Amino acid sequence: MNAFQPPEKGSPACESGAGFAAEENLPSELVQTIERAVSEAPAHRDRLLGLLRRVNEDLGWVPPAAQGMIADRLGLASMDVATVVSFSGCPLTRPPARVRLEVCRGTGCALEGGRVLIDVVGVVLGLEPGEVTPDGQFSFDTVPCLGTCERSPAVRVDGRVVGPLTPGSLRRLLRLLSDAADSLPVREETE
């Protein structure tokens, strides 16, 4: 029998205690991963970022149900976790694409002309920051400082920082990635 279900609408959760488990919607391996990670040290709110990172490394994003489960285990409210997730910009709040592009909008990159890189990715892939190509191949985000100012302006591709980049070298990089993906989401540009 399916033991836990989210509370029905129209019945305030605060009158019932925190008795529903978000993890029912999560794959059991992930539930075990989180459970194991939580049990490594006493549950405390200070551990939130570390746990989010663990899940993000595993899955490439932190699904809402995982946010709820981490909140429950650390004695936090779901919204406490959601605030941190949305503030940090990463971990992501949607499933990852095959190629994850994250353009740095930190101060160092901005001074080196990094804003142009945001435009280049936008034009070449036809995406706004935060969007994914319809075929799910590329995701495009802008992120707070990557902490790699020596390579500014920089882009992170699947977790690896590439830079310094010029608009031209970024276009070539996108083409390479697109060829490797064996599909052609990249539009030809007329310069």
Partner 1 sequence: MARVTLSIDGVEVEATAGELLLPVLRRLGVRVPTLCHDERLNPYGGCRLCVVQRSDTRPGLVPACSTPVVPGMQIATASPEVIQSRRRQLQILALNHRMECPVCDRSGDCRFQDLLYEIGVPDELPPLVSRPRSRDDSWPVIVRDLGKCVVCGRCVRLCDEVQGVSAIGFTGRGLDIEVATFQSEVLDCELCGQCVNACPAAALLARPYLSPVPNWLRERRVTTCSFCSCGCQIEFEVHDGRAVRVTGPEIEAPNRGKLCVKGWLGWDVLSHPDRLTKPLLRRSGRLVEVGWPEAYDAVAGMLGAARQADRAIVLVGSARLTREDAYLLQRLGRCVLGSPHVGVGPSGGVRALVEGVRPVLGVIRSTATFDDLAASDLVLVLRADPSRTHPLVKTELVQGARQRGRPFVLAAGLAGGLERHAAVHLHLAPGAEVAVARCLTAQLLEAAPGRAGALAGHPGFESWRTSLAAYRDPAVAASCGVEEARLREVVEMIAAAARVVVVLPCACGLPGDEAQAARAAAELASLLGAGLMVLGEKVNVQGVIQAGLHPQLLPGGRAADDIPTLRALATVWGGRIARGPGWDLDETCRRAAAGEVGALVLVGEDPVDLWPRPMAARAAVERSERVVVFDPFLTETGRLADVVIPVAALAERVGTVVGADGHPRRLVRAIDPPEGLPQDREVIVEIARRLGSELPLGDELSAALDQTGARRGAVPAPVRLEPAPPPVVPAIQDDGPMVLDPSPLLFHSGSVTSRSRILEGLAPIVTLWIHPDDATRHGLANGEPVAVTDGRRELLLRARLDRTVTRGTVRVAQHGGPDSAAQLLGAEGEIVHVELRRHN
Per CB under 8 A, residues contacting partner 1 are: 1-5, 7-21, 64, 67-68, 75-80, 82-83, 86-87, 89
Residues 115, 181: Cα–Cα separation, whole Å: 26
CB 52 within 8 A of CB 91: yes
* Minimum distance, C-beta of residue 179 to partner 1, in the bound complex (Å): 35
| Pick 143 or 170: Cβ nearer partner 1 | 143
Peptide bond into 64 cis (omega under 30): no
Output 88 or 148, the one with its CB closest to partner 1.
88
Closest approach, Cβ 112 to partner 1, in A, equals 21
Cβ distance to partner 1 smaller for residue 4 or 27:
4
Closest approach, Cβ 187 to partner 1, in A, equals 27
Runs of H (alpha helix) within 75-181? 78-88, 107-111, 114-125, 167-180
Please give the structure tokens belonging to residue 163.
């830079």
Smallest gap from residue 115 Cβ to partner 1 (A): 14
Burial 39-70 (b: 16+ CB within 10 A, else e): eeeeeeeebbeebbebbbeebbbbbebbbbbb
Closer residue to partner 1 (CB): 146 or 186 = 146
